[in-house]
Amino acid sequence: MTIKHFLQFSDFSLDEFEYVIERSRIIKRKFKNYEQYHPLMDRTLVMVFEKNSTRTRLSFEAGMHQLGGAAIYLNTRDSQLGRGEPVEDAAQVMSRMCDIIMIRTFGQDIIERFAANSRVPVINGLTNEHHPCQVLADVFTYIEHRGAITGKTVAWIGDANNMLYSWLQAAQVFGFHVNVSTPAGYEIDPGLVKADNQRYSVFSNPSDACAGADLVTTDVWTSMGYEQENAARLKAFDGWIVDSEKMQRANVDALFMHCLPAHRGEEVSAEVIDGAQSVVWDEAENRLHVQKALMEYLLLGRLA
């Protein structure tokens, strides 16, 4: 049997996402009703963190516990990964002792090498290039609030980072459009976007990118691993704040999303993130529900 991984958004078909989204709805309802649901009894998730996290750790750990399984946290500092054990060897060993593995690391190549040597499914909990679990939660959140995302317009204001590349893949899978505005010098790396992706347009003016959008979203100007560039980025991103003025260019019922953590006054104004159009807390909560559905699917396949 071939093992299914979730290393980037494009690893799943539309049909698979539709299934996972439906399961997320069911699993969320069970959780809200305090209904016990333990399909992953005796299964173990190993979570490897090479970067900081609040939401990803909490949602995977609590999620596995709620599904009847156990979760083990490893980080670079106190595992052998920090002392140079090859990723391929770590994958061989870890995947003989557990049922599923989530990794947050630096380069996408690291998780790809890990998965190639793993006997069990591997989930990307964020790399420099992708953050597919977050965009899955975001798409689910959009659908919960507004119905189908197909045919809609998403405005991405800010850095061409892991979140954007996952949004661009999601746009191809679900058939929506992304208006992208990044400052000069921080544009999309064409090497990280499929050549046939026609689902996005580039705008030099961030306000123009918001015009007619159904969803406006942004992220930190400096992602983890790029901290040495922070001062230069603060200067370059001046003007790329999502504020009320930009939200007014979007459709009247547009939502605002941010994967969090956020910096009020940098990429988003307090008025917007704490305002009526913002669904950031739903987005964060939905990490829990969609990842439970994702783990269920990767381990048990489609339930009849």
Point out which span in 22-30, 103-111, 158-166, 193-201 binds ligand NVA (CB under 6 A): 158-166
Comparison of 163 and 250: residue with beta carbon closer to ligand NVA: 163
Query: Catalytic one among 5, 104, 130, 258?
Result: 104
Concerning whether 8 is annotated as a catalytic residue, the answer is no
> What is the DSSP track for the chain?
-PPP-BSSGGGS-HHHHHHHHHHHHHHHHHHHTT----TTTT-EEEEEESS--SHHHHHHHHHHHHTT-EEEEEETTTSGGGGT--HHHHHHHHHHH-SEEEEE-S-HHHHHHHHHT-SS-EEES--SS--HHHHHHHHHHHHHHHS--TT-EEEEES--SHHHHHHHHHHHHHT-EEEEE--TT----GGGS-TT--SEEE-SSHHHHHTT-SEEEE--SS-TT-GGGHHHHHHHTTT--B-HHHHHHS-TT-EEEE-S---BTTTB-HHHHTSTTB-HHHHHHHHHHHHHHHHHHHHH----
Count of residues near ligand CP by CB under 6 A: 8
Give yes or no: 43 in active site.
Answer: no
Q: Which residues pair with 180 in a beta bridge?
A: 156, 202
124 binds ligand CP (CB under 6 A): no
The verdict on whether 104 is a catalytic residue reads yes
Binding partner of 124, given ligand NVA, ligand CP, none, CB within 5-8 angstroms per partner class: none
Instruction: Please report whether residue 62 would count as binding ligand CP according to CB under 6 A.
Output: no
Q: Would you count residue 268 as binding ligand CP (CB under 6 A)?
A: no
Residue 88: partners with Cβ closer than 8 Å, 6 or more residues away? 113, 114, 116, 117
Task: CB nearer to ligand CP: give 23 or 55.
Answer: 55
Residue with Cβ nearer ligand NVA (95 or 218): 218
Catalytic residue of the set 5, 23, 57, 131: 131
Per-residue contact track with ligand CP, 221 to 260, x per CB under 6 A?
A: --------------------------------------xx
For residue 77, indicate whether it is catalytic. no
Applying CB under 6 A, among 8, 24, 56, 95 the residue interacting with ligand CP is 56
> Which residue of 27, 259, 280, 284 would you call a contact of ligand NVA, by CB under 6 A?
259
Residue among 172, 210, 259, 289 flagged as catalytic: 259
Amino acid in position 25: R
Is 133 a residue of the active site?
no
Whichever of 46 and 251 has its CB closer to ligand CP, that residue is 46
For ligand CP, the closer CB: 259 or 268: 259
Non-local (6+) Cβ contacts of 192 within 8 A are 129, 165
| Nearer CB in complex with ligand CP: 40/284 | 284
Our answer to whether residue 131 is catalytic in this structure is yes
From its phi and psi, is residue 120 left (phi > 0), alpha (psi between -120 and 50) or beta?
A: beta
Residues 195-224 that bind ligand NVA (CB under 6 A): 219-220, 223-224
108 binds ligand NVA (CB under 6 A): no
Among 7, 48, 155, 163, binds ligand NVA (CB under 6 A): 163
Q: Is the dihedral of CA 138, 143, 145, 150 positive or negative?
A: positive
Catalytic residue among 5, 43, 55, 287: 287
Q: State the catalytic residues.
A: 104, 131, 134, 219, 259, 287
Binding site for ligand CP (CB under 6 A): 53-56, 126, 134, 259-260
